Amino acid sequence: MASAGLLALLSGSAYAAPAGSSAFPDFDFDFGAGYWYSTGGNQNRLYADATKAEAVSALHYVDQRTHSGELYFEADHKSGVFIKGFVGLGGVVTANLFDEDFPPETTPYSRTLSSVSGNLQYATVDLGYTFVNTMSKSDPDKPGEQTGFKWGGFVGHNYWHELYNAYGCTQLATSDICAPAEVAPNAKAITEEDTLNSLRLGSVVDIAFAPGWKIRGDGAFIVTDQANVDTHYFTLGRIPAPGHGMGFQLEGVPTHYFNEHFSVGVGGRWWRLWSAVHLSDSGQLETYNIDSEGSFVRAGLSY
């Protein structure tokens, strides 16, 4: 179910370049670019208090389709120390917003539908160490001719920023909120903006299972700080809501090395985060669930 993303850290330089082939003979370098197609959404729910006994409202950004481009890099030192990372930029080409308001705060119950577009930016950098390395080459001059595996751990940082703009408003329940023709289809009704900065603690495994073939798995537990701004243009205005949470980020990709430098990989990525905000001025609790998963393709160079 959890397919997930392109180029990230997944390129691994498990195949070392021949000694003396670069200005940095103690390092192996891997870098490239790719494309990530992702689906998912962002859902938040507001409760009357911290007990979650009474829901006040909920925003469900669903059916999201996003196209992103990425750049990635990795540098491995012969000591076992490595650094890897990636940066991405994408656009939300389609999504829907279901906005719910519950009795007794809103009577009768309201459920509206709006169309959504938006964008996202993200970046990750990890510093780690390879604890086990059994990689071996049948020919030292052909980095793709390797078998064995590498296993290491890392600590890193992930930045994630997403923005949704919801347009129009169609009432799907019996409420008079968004009565027919009250909100034009092209009128901006709500903007949701989330910025998350997360600590990553994870592990990475490279397996060269056949000459010219490698598979990488990369997983991280994350602890995140979230800065959320929810703007309702026709009602509540701008509502900042900073919070804290946790989650995980998983990636996997098989890669084929066509020669000693050029490779292509196709893989997946699944990111999920949960966070909560205690609104001190009202005593209310707001919870968030952000999910993104998809498939990617990337091309890289190794030296």
Half-sphere exposure of 137 (CA within 13 A, CB side): 14
pLDDT of residue 236: 77
pLDDT of residue 249: 97
pLDDT under 50: residue ranges of the chain: 1-21, 140
| pTM, 2 dp | 0.85
pLDDT of residue 181: 67
pLDDT of residue 281: 67
- Torsion angle (degrees, nearest 10) of CA 82, 267, 194, 119: 120
pLDDT of residue 3: 37
Domains in the chain and their CATH numbers?
27-302 (2.40.128.90)
- CB of 68 within 8 A of CB of 89? yes
pLDDT of residue 2: 36
String of DSSP letters for 202-239: EEEEEEEEETTEEEEEEEEEEEEEEEEEEEETTTTEEE
